[in-house]
């Protein structure tokens, strides 16, 4: 009953089986994006420690799963992320400055400061907001896929989740409905071995998460989540299957969260250092780097140059973002309803005046 683990690059970067054939320029862009994610994580965690942003969740160690799954999607497909998928939006066209602005919650934030830091979404790249409540994005992804089916749209929805989300009712509801109605949906699970401090062994008695798909009547695929090529191959097939009208797939990317659950977490309280060292030997960046160098796709010193360039790009984005003011007071009122009521307009006038230091007699107009 156990789902086999699909792999195309072993931990030393040697080819296994028949990997997908990708253009050289795409391979280089994919690796550069993985490097960008890691540099961004390092800088943003540093900002949080300095008190310049309030919260951050890293994807360090999971760059292949994020980047490979993003690559398999079309620009008009819809993404329903969880905590560690900001890199998906980044791949699809969100800028670093927009991400930093969201983390600050200022006037440059595409969400106008109305969402927790790192709870990212971006309408222009079809990425939908998510909640800290685990798994709530999965029924949303299922509902959007159902709408696409009913409207005859040729798109696929990708619902991201962690291993912990497989234990909540929203996962069951979304998977059951998607299976019954054969919806154009891919459930992409980043099984990073930990749901905050709960290890995978305490999360489920099943041998894998992928195997759970059988109960809902659709395929489950278990893939080495630190293998970029295997992730691309598995996710591409799942997306193509959904687009052909053959229904959903559950992709389980077996990976590892190298850092804490978030900037609020201390993983040393529940994880042994030896376990970290074991997974460091499976680093997704090291694996792709070794393969690209051996294939002649990455020149000596090129990654170092990219790292320098990306550091400068992120530094400039931070400087520009921190120079922006908070969201305007007007924004709390102006986009709540299509047509503003007289009462809401009066409240807006009072709020703007109060923000400018004007004093009024009497109570705020409720």
- pLDDT tens per residue across all 366 residues of the chain: 457 899 999 999 999 999 999 999 999 999 999 999 999 999 999 999 999 999 999 999 999 999 999 999 999 999 999 999 999 999 999 999 999 999 999 999 999 999 999 999 999 999 999 999 999 999 999 999 999 999 999 999 999 999 999 999 999 999 999 999 999 999 999 999 999 999 999 999 999 999 999 999 999 999 999 999 999 999 999 999 999 999 999 999 999 999 999 999 999 999 999 999 999 999 999 999 999 999 999 999 999 999 999 999 999 999 999 999 999 999 999 888 889 999 999 999 999 998 888 887 778 888
Q: DSSP letter at 202?
A: G
Q: What angle do CA 252, 253, 256 make, to 5 degrees?
A: 130
Which residues belong to CATH 3.40.50.970 in the chain? 5-322
Q: Which residue has the tokens 């809902």?
A: 216
Full-model pTM:
0.94
Q: Residues 6 or more apart from 2 whose CB is under 8 A from it?
A: 207, 208, 211
- The pLDDT assigned to 360 comes to 75
Q: Number of C-alpha atoms within 13 angstroms, CB side, residue 191?
A: 24
Active-site option among 202, 270, 281, 305: 270
Helix ranges (H only) for the chain are: 24-49, 63-71, 86-92, 96-104, 137-151, 169-181, 228-243, 273-280, 284-294, 302-322, 331-334, 342-355
* First-residue to last-residue Cα distance in the chain: 61
Annotation marks residue 349 as catalytic: no
Annotation marks residue 216 as catalytic: no
Can you name the CATH fold of 5-322? Answer: Rossmann fold (3.40.50)
Q: Which residues pair with 188 in a beta bridge?
A: 160, 251
Alpha-carbon distance of 161 to 82, in angstroms, equals: 6
- The pLDDT assigned to 2 comes to 59
Alpha-carbon distance of 22 to 330, in angstroms, equals: 48
Give me the sign of the Cα torsion angle 16, 210, 126, 241: positive
Active-site option among 43, 119, 257, 282: 257
Annotation marks residue 257 as catalytic: yes
Active-site option among 119, 261, 282, 287: 261
Q: Residues 6 or more apart from 236 whose CB is under 8 A from it?
A: 20, 72
Alpha-carbon distance of 62 to 65, in angstroms, equals: 6
Alpha-carbon distance of 138 to 160, in angstroms, equals: 7
Q: Number of C-alpha atoms within 13 angstroms, CB side, residue 254?
A: 17
């Amino acid at each position: 009953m156990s789902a086999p683990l699909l792999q195309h690059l072993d931990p030393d970067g040697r080819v296994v089986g028949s990997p997908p054939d990708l253009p050289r320029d795409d391979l280089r862009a994919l690796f550069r994006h993985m490097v960008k994610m890691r540099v961004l994580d390092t800088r943003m965690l540093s900002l949080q420690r300095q008190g310049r942003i309030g919260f951050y969740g890293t994807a360090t160690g999971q760059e292949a799963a994020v980047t490979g799954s993003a690559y398999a999607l079309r620009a008009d497909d819809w993404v329903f992320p969880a905590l560690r998928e900001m890199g998906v939006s980044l791949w699809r066209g969100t800028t670093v400055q927009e991400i930093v602005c969201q983390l600050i919650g200022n006037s440059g934030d595409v969400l106008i400061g109305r969402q927790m830091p790192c709870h990212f979404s971006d309408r222009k790249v079809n990425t939908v907001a998510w909640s800290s409540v685990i798994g709530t994005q999965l029924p949303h992804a299922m509902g959007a896929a159902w709408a696409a089916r009913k409207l005859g749209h040729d798109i696929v929805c990708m619902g991201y989740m962690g291993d912990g989300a497989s234990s909540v009712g929203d996962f069951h509801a979304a998977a059951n409905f998607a299976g019954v109605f054969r919806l154009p949906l891919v459930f992409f699970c980043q099984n990073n071995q930990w749901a905050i401090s709960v290890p995978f062994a305490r999360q489920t008695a099943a041998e894998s998460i992928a195997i759970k798909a059988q109960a809902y009547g659709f395929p489950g695929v278990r893939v080495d989540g630190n293998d970029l090529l295997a992730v691309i191959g598995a996710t591409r097939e799942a997306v193509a299957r959904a687009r052909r009208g053959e229904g959903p797939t559950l992709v389980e990317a077996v990976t590892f969260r190298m850092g804490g659950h978030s900037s609020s977490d201390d993983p040393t309280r529940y994880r042994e250092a030896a376990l970290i060292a074991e997974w460091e030997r499976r680093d997704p960046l090291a694996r792709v780097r070794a393969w690209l160098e051996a294939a002649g796709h990455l020149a000596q010193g090129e990654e170092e140059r990219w790292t320098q360039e990306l550091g400068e790009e992120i530094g400039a984005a931070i400087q520009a973002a921190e120079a922006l003011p908070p969201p305007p007071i007007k924004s709390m009122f102006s986009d709540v309803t299509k047509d503003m009521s007289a009462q809401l307009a009066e409240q807006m006038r009072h709020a703007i005046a109060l923000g400018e230091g004007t004093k009024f007699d009497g109570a705020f107009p409720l």
